[in-house]
Amino acid sequence: MNNPQFATLQRIVSQEPLHPTQNIPIEVKMEQSPMIVSTDLETLCRKKTLEDICEYLMDQDIECGLFNQLIQNEYINPDELSQNYKKKRTLKYALQIINGIDPNCPQVESLGKISECVIQLFQEDSKSEILKPLPSLIGLTGMITLFYQYVSKKVQTQAMWDWLDLLLPALSQLPYLKTSRSCSEEAIDILSETEIPDNLTNPEEFLMRITSIHQIIARYPVIATLEHIKTQLEKYHQSLNPSLVQQLIYQYYAEPVKLPVGIYDNKIDDLSLTNKVNKKKNEKVNKPIRQP
């Protein structure tokens, strides 16, 4: 395939054969002059091409610092990135946070950052059925975490109200948020009126005795809910369009391979082709040796 973009990509990656599932080692060095790029990037000065390369590297989980270098040297303006690339960057940040959370002891601050990312994604893609329930689920998970912290006397009542306004805003029009906030408000009211023993050793058992909180925890167990949120975010990532570079690579490997005439028949499948080739090999190997 004579494609200049693909040929250029091959120049900046290793000389090994490319494959869509391979991680490609890449090393990029920027010169000091703001208008000079190293040899590897001399033919990639167009912003769109640079962006496509960065998007591909991110899709392949290749960390090389290229994007940050291009931003610092003003080769790319983050405000001018494509909508698809912006979504991927926001999504990657959210996944990095959720992958770093200890499900047995999640930090509400981390859940708040994930919620902010997901709300931003949903505002840009309000028709996504995958994202639709996630802000509410993240908010409820954060509130359940606070309930545990409250009975363990790690936070005060006011902290729960403050986080409620951040995780499940009263004026938000996001799906399911109003119902989740109403349940959380009721739980906070009951907790604030409940006497917490000083020598409490089992916060979960204590919370499960309170009917309204028991219903929330039983329906949205923290560990299972966090895993579900992570799975849905990964599923949404798979639904986004691949980078242009990835499409070029797929197109390159999708080109048919020319086989010797007489072996390949358009009417047979690959398995039949393999059987024919193997049969010819076996016939050659098993051919009787002529005696002198």
Nearest to 83 by CA among 54, 124, 37, 42: 124
**What is the pLDDT at residue 279?**
56
pLDDT the model gives residue 290: 47
Please state, for a pLDDT cut of 70, what percent of the chain lies above it.
71
Exposure letters 58-67 (e unless 16+ CB within 10 A, then b): bbbeeeeebb
For 232-265, the pLDDT digits (tens) are 999 999 999 988 888 888 777 765 545 444 444 4
pLDDT tens digits along 36-57: 444 444 544 567 888 888 899 9
pLDDT digits (tens, 9 = 90+) for 142-180: 999 999 999 999 999 999 999 999 999 998 889 999 999
The answer, yes or no, to whether residue 8 has pLDDT greater than 50, is no
Q: In angstroms, what CA-CA distances link 121 with 14, 78, 115, 169, 232?
A: 35, 16, 10, 17, 13
**220-250 burial: b if 16+ Cβ within 10 Å, else e:** bebeebbebbbebbeebbeeeebbbbbebbe
Q: Could you give the C-alpha distances from 87 to 66, 69, 82, in angstroms and in order? A: 18, 20, 9
Q: Residue 231's pLDDT is what?
A: 97
Q: Give me the chain's average pLDDT, please.
A: 79
Q: Is the pTM for the entire model greater than 0.75? A: no
List pLDDT tens digits, range 71-105: 888 878 888 888 999 999 999 999 999 999 999 99
Please give the Cα distance from 175 to 136 (Å, whole number): 7
